Structure 1
Amino acid sequence: MERSKERDGSDKPSGQEPTSEAPGVTLKRQIGLWSAVSMTAGCMIGSGIFMSPQGVLAYMGSAGASLIVWATCGFLAMMGALCYAEMGSLVPESGGDYAYILRIFGSLPAFLVIYTFVLVARPAAITAVSLSFAEYAVAPFYPGCSSLPQVTVKIVASSCILLLLLINYWSSRMSTMLMNVCAAAKVFSLTVIVVGGVVVLAQNYSGTEFLRFSFHNTTQQAGRIGMAFYQGLWSFDGWNNINTVVEELKNPKQSLVWSVMIAVPLVTILYVLVNISYLLVMSPSEILTSDAIAVSWGNQVLGSWAWLVPLGVVLSTFGTVNAMFFSGSRVCFAAAREGHMPQLMSMIHVHRLTPAPALIFTTAVALVLIFPGNFSTFVNLLSFVSWLTSGTTFGCLLYLRIKTKNLPHTYKVPTVIPAVMLLVSLYLVLAPIIDHPQIEFLYLFLFVLSGVPVYFLLFHFQCQSKCIQTATMHLQLLLEVVPTTKDR
């Protein structure tokens, strides 16, 4: 990122005066194709493959059905990513879902997206991955324990969040270097598990016994199948993350397509092979009762080298949380220049050039969510929000196909793909609610609705009190932050 001394008055948030003297931030186009592939794969490979296999198996009831779910999740992620690549070529702006919904459906729906993202989705995602980081970091210190002390787990998760806040606050370059190191750890961890499964199979063919009863006890309930897909698709979450940084891609129209066409199939193959490796070494009942499945696998296969697995998983999940802090600021910038976020949230540190207020706020919400929540609950709620938003984006693409002719396409998917993905999104949103309703879904729905009066009071009618303006000024001085801008 480079400093910019010019501000375009048309990009200022509504109700604010342009400040030409204030330094801003301009994002440079410095992400090439292979960096885009690395970013896509790195965002997808996080805590899910080390935590979600238990959830998928529990909801589906059989090993064979769970493997089908994993493969299908990869196929759905691929189709969804191709739709997003087309949307990115039609609306070449950073911000992902927020930018597309804003341009197609207008201000209020876009505000509800960013309202949910900033206050729930991003902090809860950070919390969920931090909890999985903590479980794998703590597990080696409690050998033989079937249940880890939750107080210790949550203290370690809180420490992870605070440490990454300091790193992202201190230096964007330091955060980027950490992402590169952790990306290598992700691939290493999965490769060790896949190779270990191959060795076990070569030494003992009896490990394939799970195939004899692979579909025994498979569930037929639509709601449970939907919840299984929630768990599996969580592991693929990040397939659309490259769309949040479109303005930083060197050749966005080509990089968007090729990055997902390379990254998503590779991650899918790795995930299926890792699940097969788990099943070759552990019985379904052992998988369901393990707090840290990869650690349990390592103890049985690697012997004295078992510590390599938790170390790799810890680095992997740590890097994922770091990436969430980093990429989330891009969405904040996109919303701030449209006037859909408080002015303070769009500011950066005057010396560090990091989004300090947004980072601090996200950290505070994530820490609040640490203690009452658990990984499985967060995954289900985040998947609900994610597919509700993604379904709206697929609707945006279909709307453009129907209402607008002669679009400047450089890349186009068959219309049946966004139509199918819209139906899949509706199923994933409605089926768990209808078949297995949970009070958390109602709370989340009411929270989204609460964004409507907030939008009209604070942004549509500009009902911002002098107290808020004064507080913003004092916090700006305290945190040493200045407004930001983006060149279009």
Structure 2
Amino acid sequence: VGLLSGISLIVGTMIGSGIFISPKSVLLYSGAVGPCLLIWTACGVLSTLALCYAELGTMITKSGAEYSYLLESFGSIVAYLYSWTTVVVLKPSSFAIITLSFAEYAAAPFYPGCSPPALVIKCLASAAMNCLSVKLANYVQNVFTVAKLLIIVIIAVAGMVLLAQGKTENFSNAFETSSVSFGSIGLAFYNGLWAYDGNQLNFITEELKDPYNLPLAIIIGIPLVTVCYVLVNVAYFTVMTPSELLVSPAVAVTFGDRVLYPMSWIVPLFVVFSTFGSANGSCFTAGLAFVSGREGHMVKILSYISLKRFTPAPALIFNGFLSLLYILPADINTLINYFSFAQWFFYGLTAFALIVMRFTRKELHRPVKVPIVLAVLMTLVSFYLVLAPIIDKPEIEYLYCTVFILSGLILYYVFVYKKVKWAHKMMPITMHLQLLMEVVPPEKNE
């Protein structure tokens, strides 16, 4: 993966379906046009705190992102809990939601006037999962990133033309109806940062041609996404009042129907391109099971590599298999909402790891060294985003998710700490899977 592909991966995984479908959640919690645009901008600024990952990624040049950094700074237990939560729930369920979004828009033109059958949606979502080839995934990512940027440019330019024509009614009193609270601001940021979430280049550091491309890709990719998001939101408000935007099921489609007719069909088409590109990037960076398997935190077969393609095929296929299970119920948004607070907890813990290693691992070479204040700020923001939705609307499901995460300690104690011998029972299964997938342990591959 070179610099251009790295930028494409960041932009392509960050820009998914969110900016095209549901910016209304930010507007809902911010209360008015002015605060809404400020929050979208602030979310972009906060996302540049991912520069902390530039230092971590060039200091610890292993794939796995947060897993590798937590392992290096806090040890095996914390890293295991992260991999347990991410491999089993966060990665595959997020992947499933992206592919379901792709499937809904891809099927819609073939069922005018009615909703596509659930079976069609699930089959299309399953078909969007590619574990075949790194080169193919890389090529697809570059092409679809260009496609989604093209539609964003079309929407943004259309918005600027409308502004030049005097469509400024919704910006005249942009802060007038705003009524925000501590909890609502937190939830607005929560939804905005969810749209920005997707800087997954650190998951595949070992696939980079040059690790120094990591900070460059972050510095270029995230500001580019920020500009795109703000301009697209400005364009939305040129043709829709806040109340109209809040009732629109798909904001970009509504915009296209009003501004781009009779070419409005290009909007849902490019939403399909956008979601497919995001799904491709999510699958491409789903090798965490490979890294944790290599450390002995997952079954060994997940750390094996394809002889033909030199990719962590078992780990990617395992992620795809779990994603298929999440696709079956087809309504897992609630589950993601409850587990997303766990994701932000681990983000904050990773930023804190950077602070800790400044004192405990001074000997490590740091090609990129960010100001420590960035890590402190990211830690504080992350933990605020963990607590804000819970304080604003405490629900028992958050407790269930916490219990699930901590239940990983049982598996850790039995299979990692006590090292219960079960390899002999797994050997026949491992052998057959090796033959089926033509994979070998990484040391054999080398």
Structure 1-normalised TM-score? 0.84
**Inter-partner Cα distance in structure 2 for 1:46 and 1:425:** 22
Q: CA distance change for structure 1 residues 453 and 95 in 2, over 3 Å: closer, same or farther?
A: same
Aligned-pair distance for 1:137?
A: 2.6
Matches within 5 A, 1:438-457: 438-457=395-414
Aligned-pair distance for 1:182?
A: 0.9
Q: CA distance change for structure 1 residues 88 and 361 in 2, over 3 Å: closer, same or farther?
A: closer
Matches within 5 A, 1:202-351: 202-203=164-165, 205=166, 207-239=167-199, 241-252=200-211, 254-329=212-287, 331-351=288-308
Of 121, 138, 141, which residue of structure 2 is paired with 1:179? 141
CA contact (8 A) 1:127 1:157 kept: no
**Inter-partner Cα distance in structure 1 for 2:359 and 2:308:** 48
Q: CA distance change for structure 1 residues 133 and 480 in 2, over 3 Å: closer, same or farther?
A: same
Partner of 1:201: 163
**Inter-partner Cα distance in structure 1 for 2:312 and 2:11:** 25
**Inter-partner Cα distance in structure 2 for 1:362 and 1:158:** 16
Partner of 2:103: 134
Of 56, 70, 93, which residue of structure 1 is paired with 2:62? 93
CA contact (8 A) 1:55 1:376 kept: no
More deviation, 446-455/243-252: 243-252
CA contact (8 A) 1:37 1:259 kept: yes
**Inter-partner Cα distance in structure 2 for 1:469 and 1:141:** 48
One-letter amino acid of the structure 1 residue matched with residue 137 of structure 2: S
Q: Is 1:426 matched up with 2:383? A: yes
Cα deviation code 1:336-364 (max 9, x no counterpart) = 22111111222344445554433333233
One-letter amino acid of the structure 2 residue matched with residue 196 of structure 1: A
Q: CA distance change for structure 1 residues 132 and 230 in 2, over 3 Å: closer, same or farther?
A: farther
One-letter amino acid of the structure 2 residue matched with residue 102 of structure 1: L
**Inter-partner Cα distance in structure 2 for 1:476 and 1:48:** 39
**Inter-partner Cα distance in structure 1 for 2:366 and 2:279:** 35
Partner of 2:42: 72
**Inter-partner Cα distance in structure 2 for 1:315 and 1:73:** 24
Of 90, 93, 111, which residue of structure 2 is paired with 1:124? 93
Partner of 1:22: none
Q: Is 1:40 matched up with 2:3? A: no
Partner of 2:151: 189
One-letter amino acid of the structure 2 residue matched with residue 51 of structure 1: I
More deviation, 303-312/363-372: 363-372
Cα deviation code 1:282-307 (max 9, x no counterpart) = 22222222222211111111101111
Aligned-pair distance for 1:449?
A: 0.5
CA contact (8 A) 1:59 1:227 kept: yes
CA contact (8 A) 1:135 1:292 kept: no
Q: CA distance change for structure 1 residues 61 and 393 in 2, over 3 Å: closer, same or farther?
A: same
Aligned-pair distance for 1:138?
A: 4.1
Partner of 2:327: 370
Gaps of 5+ in 1: 1-30
**Inter-partner Cα distance in structure 1 for 2:119 and 2:320:** 14
More deviation, 468-477/126-135: 468-477
Partner of 1:82: 51
Q: CA distance change for structure 1 residues 92 and 486 in 2, over 3 Å: closer, same or farther?
A: farther
Q: CA distance change for structure 1 residues 176 and 35 in 2, over 3 Å: closer, same or farther?
A: closer
**Inter-partner Cα distance in structure 2 for 1:275 and 1:259:** 24
Cα deviation code 1:41-84 (max 9, x no counterpart) = 222222221234021112222222111111011001102x2111
CA contact (8 A) 1:161 1:363 kept: no
Q: Is 1:115 matched up with 2:84? A: yes
Q: CA distance change for structure 1 residues 382 and 411 in 2, over 3 Å: closer, same or farther?
A: same
Aligned-pair distance for 1:238?
A: 2.1
Gaps of 5+ in 2: none
One-letter amino acid of the structure 1 residue matched with residue 281 of structure 2: A
CA contact (8 A) 2:57 2:214 kept: yes
CA contact (8 A) 1:40 1:259 kept: yes
CA contact (8 A) 2:84 2:408 kept: yes
Q: Is 1:163 matched up with 2:127? A: yes
More deviation, 436-445/386-395: 436-445
One-letter amino acid of the structure 2 residue matched with residue 451 of structure 1: G
**Inter-partner Cα distance in structure 2 for 1:53 and 1:474:** 48
**Inter-partner Cα distance in structure 1 for 2:306 and 2:210:** 29
Q: CA distance change for structure 1 residues 351 and 36 in 2, over 3 Å: closer, same or farther?
A: closer
Partner of 1:17: none
Secondary structure class of the residue paired with 1:334: helix
More deviation, 215-224/256-265: 215-224
Partner of 2:347: 390
Q: Is 1:437 matched up with 2:394? A: yes
Aligned-pair distance for 1:393?
A: 0.8
Q: CA distance change for structure 1 residues 192 and 374 in 2, over 3 Å: closer, same or farther?
A: farther
Cα deviation code 1:412-460 (max 9, x no counterpart) = 2222211111110110011111221233322221111111011111222
**Inter-partner Cα distance in structure 2 for 1:282 and 1:219:** 20
**Inter-partner Cα distance in structure 1 for 2:261 and 2:398:** 43
Percent of aligned pairs with the same amino acid: 44
**Inter-partner Cα distance in structure 1 for 2:300 and 2:4:** 35
**Inter-partner Cα distance in structure 2 for 1:42 and 1:110:** 27
Q: CA distance change for structure 1 residues 189 and 486 in 2, over 3 Å: closer, same or farther?
A: farther
**Inter-partner Cα distance in structure 2 for 1:156 and 1:275:** 32
Aligned-pair distance for 1:475?
A: 3.4
CA contact (8 A) 1:128 1:378 kept: no
Pairs aligned (count): 445
CA contact (8 A) 1:388 1:425 kept: yes
Structure 2-normalised TM-score? 0.91
